[in-house]
Chain A
Amino acid sequence: MYRRGLLAVLALAGIATFGAGTASAQDKTIKIGGLFPMSGPGAYFGAQDKQGIELALEELNKTGVNGYKFAIQYEDSACSPLPASQAAKRLLDQYKPDVIIGEECSDATLAIMPIVAEAKVPLINAGSSSIRITDPGNPYTFRIMPNEVMQGVDIATQAYNKLNARTAVLLNETTNAGIGNAKVFKETFEKLGGKVVAEIGFGRDVNDFTAIATRVAGAGKVDVIPTYTLEGQGLKITQALSQAGVVKGGGGGAIQLGTIWLPFGFEQKAGKAAEGYVRIVQFDPTDQRDMVKNFVKNFKAKFNADPTHINAHAYDQILLIADAVKRGAKDAQSIRDTLAATKDFKGVTGSVEFDKSNQNIKMDTIHYMETKPDLSWNALKWN
């Protein structure tokens, strides 16, 4: 007898707290979905994205924006089309986010784009460079990072004009991003009058670059070596090129050119071999703007490491969402519309203005760095 009464009271109490709980959770949260690789070879992207996001959320949720707080749910998209599609569907079905950020790998991003578009949820991307992500014009996909055409045309032009390069050897991984970037460089460089003396593509499973470096060494006078690959292989290439005496760090004359993917800290791992490397970075930690200085300081304090461009991109994606909310957005459709109208958002990686295909066209997201003999960066103010 007793028991039943007690149970009833407990039940009522439970319902009450549950009701109260849901009530407070209901009011004013923007739900963000995070599709990042957490397993497989792309997993370190996901780990770094999380860090940038955490920092941003921590800062924003201290006061909220326009009365809204921000929450995030992650799903593992594994840098590959099928797992990414499944992760996207799971996210949409179960979490129902107002906006999604991700993926890193172009293949995965291309796979999830139609899915989120059909669900009418905006997607902000900062990691995939393939031109196919924005070129066809998808109203629900936004990219804050410069695409491969913007980067490729710019670096080829700068190489020709500022570095007086006339011959080049292209080294790229055989993925969407690698091949695409190499192609743009080649077209621009050759149109200006330069000559590409060799193009060497390699898979993500190649480990030893001594043979490749030997081939480059035997290719005659080479001025620049545009290199499009991830950090792990990039490290090996730079060292091999140095051992073969091809690049400046090894006593040669060629300058390696790089874009994206190579974070701050690469030099320390590569050592002397990295001297003279010129690259586009999407995040310039030596940027003197207050916003950047604070970001670096807070990131270091929280994670005891220097922020990479992946951290910075993730941070900016959250800040961009907050900016949209500040301008009045509150759900998927209004976020989409407000994002599309972005004209002058300032993030730590640069400014954002979206063109008609939702590609960010501000060139101040392209920063050039040269590695000095002491392995620190010299910011070349080419943009």
Chain B
Amino acid sequence: MTATIVAQQAINGIVLGSLYVLVALGLTLIYGVLVQINFAHADFVTLGAFAAYFFIHLLGGNYLTSIAVALVVGAILGWAINLTIFAPLRHKGSELLPLIATIGVSTMMQNAMLAWFGPIPYAFETPYSQQVFRVAGMFFTAQSLIIIAVSAATIALLYAFMKFTFLGKALRAVAQDRETAGLMGINPSYLIMLTIVLSSALAGMAGAMLAPVLVLTPFAGTTVIVKAFAIVIIGGFGNVEGTILAGLLVGLIESFTTQYFDPGLIDIFVFALLLLMLAFRPTGLISERREENV
């Protein structure tokens, strides 16, 4: 009986963790290349979720396509915001201003969504969350299978992209040393735009994946974003493998804390882990970058 519970919670943790990884990947990408925190990331996730919802309910699309729709919506929004807000601010040189701008964007988006979509929670149902498989005393839904499959595929694709394509390598070059990369003929502005678009697309897609799991209101993203920040740091800013590991770890912490303690302690454990990491290993679980002044 206990073994079943442990195994079940492990599955729960991995499913949840995969979702967190999807959200955190976008953040880590942006940080890696721009050295910037994007507080509006959560709201891209929420918007992706709503885009998927309306695609299904207004346009009659199916769930799997809606994930792609959310991805595109996220990408477009990211491109637009980069153009109007992030790019102009980058030239001002301050580290802080873009961060505040993202807070402003976040406030705008949340309240615009509140005004358009209203505060009443939307029930995002997919046929996949109703299908339950029971194996050896454990259960999982078709939805969780989809989550794991899509997450794994996305992560693999992203990984391959970063390691093997020219653009991917260029992104990593800009992340490591912007000046030198510029000198070598890589256009940083273009790459930065690409990063933001990619990151927002990931966020949008994560929103569509999260929508059946989340309570869907304009504030939905906020509930996830703080953990996403923690994951990015625990895994190491800008480090894809670390983020994946950290995301899964946080998912597992969440399910096992619920089982053996109390859901209220989840945030405390996760952030205690965060602070421990910062104290003893600030570069994250898997260090790839060496920074002289962390």
The reply to whether A and B meet directly (CB within 8 Å) is yes
Q: Measuring CB to CB, which residues of chain A are less than 8 angstroms from any residue of chain B?
A: 39-44, 47, 174, 200-203, 205-208, 210-212, 214-215, 217-218, 231-233, 235-236, 239, 242-245, 250, 269, 271-272
* Tally of B interface residues using CB under 8 Å: 43
Candidates B5, B8, B118, B132; contact of A43 at CB < 8 Å = B118
B12 touching A202, Cβ below 8 Å: no
Secondary structure class of chain B's binding surface, majority of residues: helix
Residues on A with C-beta less than 8 A from B215 are 207, 232-233, 235-236
Given A211-B254, A211-B258, A243-B139 in contact, is the A43-B114 Cβ separation under 8 Å? yes
Residues on B with C-beta less than 8 A from A232 are 121, 215-217
Taken together as a complex, chains A and B put the C-alpha atoms of A177 and B121 apart, in Å, by: 20
Residues of B3-59 at the interface with A, using a CB-CB cut-off of 8 Å, are: 4-5, 8-9, 12-13, 15-16
Given A202-B263, A214-B255 in contact, is the A41-B119 Cβ separation under 8 Å? yes
Taken together as a complex, chains A and B put the C-alpha atoms of A232 and B130 apart, in Å, by: 17
Given A201-B263, A207-B223, A215-B259 in contact, is the A43-B12 Cβ separation under 8 Å? no
Residues on B with C-beta less than 8 A from A245 are 132, 134, 139
B125 touching A271, Cβ below 8 Å: yes
A250 touching B258, Cβ below 8 Å: no
Residues on B with C-beta less than 8 A from A202 are 263-264
Residues of B101-125 at the interface with A, using a CB-CB cut-off of 8 Å, are: 111, 114, 118-121, 123, 125
A41 touching B264, Cβ below 8 Å: no
When C-beta atoms are compared, the residue in chain B nearest to A271 turns out to be B130
B104–chain A nearest beta-carbon distance, Å: 18
Residues on B with C-beta less than 8 A from A235 are 121, 123, 215
Residues on B with C-beta less than 8 A from A43 are 114, 118-119
A201 touching B264, Cβ below 8 Å: yes
A44 touching B120, Cβ below 8 Å: yes
Residues on A with C-beta less than 8 A from B213 are 207-208, 236
Q: Which 7 A-B pairs have the closest CB atoms?
A: A43-B119, A232-B215, A232-B121, A211-B258, A269-B123, A44-B120, A211-B255
A201 touching B262, Cβ below 8 Å: yes
Residues on A with C-beta less than 8 A from B118 are 43-44, 47
Residues on B with C-beta less than 8 A from A47 are 118-120
B129 touching A239, Cβ below 8 Å: yes
Taken together as a complex, chains A and B put the C-alpha atoms of A217 and B134 apart, in Å, by: 13
Taken together as a complex, chains A and B put the C-alpha atoms of A214 and B260 apart, in Å, by: 11
Taken together as a complex, chains A and B put the C-alpha atoms of A233 and B215 apart, in Å, by: 6
Residues on B with C-beta less than 8 A from A250 are 132
Q: Does B141 contact A (CB under 8 A)?
A: yes
Q: Does B279 contact A (CB under 8 A)?
A: no
With most chain A CB atoms within 10 A of its CB, the pick from B114, B120, B139 is B139
Q: Does B96 contact A (CB under 8 A)?
A: no
Taken together as a complex, chains A and B put the C-alpha atoms of A210 and B139 apart, in Å, by: 10
Residues on A with C-beta less than 8 A from B111 are 39
Candidates A44, A211, A242, A244; contact of B259 at CB < 8 Å = A211
Total A-B contacts with CB atoms under 8 angstroms apart: 104
* 9 A–B contacts from the bound complex (CB under 8 Å): A44-B118, A44-B120, A174-B264, A206-B263, A208-B16, A210-B16, A214-B8, A232-B216, A243-B141
Residues on B with C-beta less than 8 A from A203 are 263-264
Residues of B235-270 at the interface with A, using a CB-CB cut-off of 8 Å, are: 254-255, 258-259, 262-264
When C-beta atoms are compared, the residue in chain A nearest to B210 turns out to be A207
A205 touching B223, Cβ below 8 Å: yes
B258 touching A41, Cβ below 8 Å: no
Given A203-B264, A207-B223, A269-B125 in contact, is the A214-B120 Cβ separation under 8 Å? no
Residues on A with C-beta less than 8 A from B141 are 243
When C-beta atoms are compared, the residue in chain A nearest to B220 turns out to be A207
Residues on B with C-beta less than 8 A from A211 are 9, 12-13, 16, 254-255, 258-259, 263
With most chain B CB atoms within 10 A of its CB, the pick from A211, A244, A272 is A211
B18–chain A nearest beta-carbon distance, Å: 12
Residues on A with C-beta less than 8 A from B123 are 235, 269
When C-beta atoms are compared, the residue in chain B nearest to A48 turns out to be B120
Residues on B with C-beta less than 8 A from A243 are 129, 132, 139, 141
When C-beta atoms are compared, the residue in chain B nearest to A215 turns out to be B259
Q: Does B63 contact A (CB under 8 A)?
A: no
A207 touching B219, Cβ below 8 Å: no
A44 touching B119, Cβ below 8 Å: yes
Taken together as a complex, chains A and B put the C-alpha atoms of A207 and B141 apart, in Å, by: 16
Taken together as a complex, chains A and B put the C-alpha atoms of A232 and B141 apart, in Å, by: 20
A268–chain B nearest beta-carbon distance, Å: 8
Taken residue by residue from 181 to 221, chain B's Cβ proximity to chain A (1 for < 8 Å, 0 otherwise) reads as 00000000000000000000000000000100111110110
A242–chain B nearest beta-carbon distance, Å: 8
B130 touching A272, Cβ below 8 Å: yes
Residues on A with C-beta less than 8 A from B259 are 211, 214-215, 218
When C-beta atoms are compared, the residue in chain B nearest to A269 turns out to be B123
With most chain B CB atoms within 10 A of its CB, the pick from A208, A244, A250 is A208
B27–chain A nearest beta-carbon distance, Å: 18
A214 touching B219, Cβ below 8 Å: no
When C-beta atoms are compared, the residue in chain A nearest to B4 turns out to be A218
Q: Does B162 contact A (CB under 8 A)?
A: no
Q: Does B1 contact A (CB under 8 A)?
A: yes
Q: Does B224 contact A (CB under 8 A)?
A: yes
Taken together as a complex, chains A and B put the C-alpha atoms of A214 and B12 apart, in Å, by: 9
Residues on A with C-beta less than 8 A from B129 are 239, 243
B263 touching A212, Cβ below 8 Å: yes
B49–chain A nearest beta-carbon distance, Å: 11
Taken together as a complex, chains A and B put the C-alpha atoms of A215 and B141 apart, in Å, by: 17
Residues of B40-88 at the interface with A, using a CB-CB cut-off of 8 Å, are: none
A338–chain B nearest beta-carbon distance, Å: 35
Residues on A with C-beta less than 8 A from B119 are 39-44, 47
A215 touching B139, Cβ below 8 Å: no
Residues on A with C-beta less than 8 A from B216 are 232
